[in-house]
Amino acid sequence: MKRELICISCPIGCHIQAEMTAAGEVEVSGNRCPRGKAYALNELTDPKRMVTSVVACASKELPFVPVRSSAPVSMALIGELLDTLRALEVAPPLASGSVVLSDFKGSGVNIITTRSVKE
């Protein structure tokens, strides 16, 4: 199946048509440079995104603490990750960068706080 993609590797933003062949190769057109092909390959095989959200925090300063993934997460896992974060509650004190969830589903990705909460 052909997919329409917009490459975001540089500001030109080429519109790319990409398709996986039976041999597991990616066929692309519309890209102006090889980075477009690498981008399409990632998007078609295992697209990843940074995840940022908030986690409930038993604090009088801040009811929710912002968090992010330590690395981009497979899009296939993001829904489940967000559900897990919604059920989580953490308690202060927390320095910025504290791990609140480690190695999510064996992906090697940790979820860390992005703001410190003293009390």
The CA distance from 67 to 59, in Å, is 15
Q: Give the other-Cβ count within 10 Å of 65's Cβ.
A: 23
Q: Which residue from 11, 24, 34, 106 is in contact with other proteins, where contact means CB under 8 A?
A: 11
Interaction with ligand SF4 in 20-59: which residues (CB under 6 A)?
31-33, 35-36, 39
The CA distance from 43 to 20, in Å, is 11
Q: Are 88 and 80 in contact (CB under 8 A)?
A: no
Minimum CB separation from other proteins for residue 25, in Å? 23
With CB cut-offs between 5 and 8 Å by kind, which of other proteins, ligand SF4, none does residue 31 bind? ligand SF4
Rg (CA), the chain: 19
The span of 22-30, 63-71, 102-110 binding other proteins (CB under 8 A) equals: 63-71
- Rounded to 5 degrees, φ, ψ at 95 are -80, 155
- 89-118 footprint of ligand SF4 as x/- string (CB under 6 A): ------------------------------
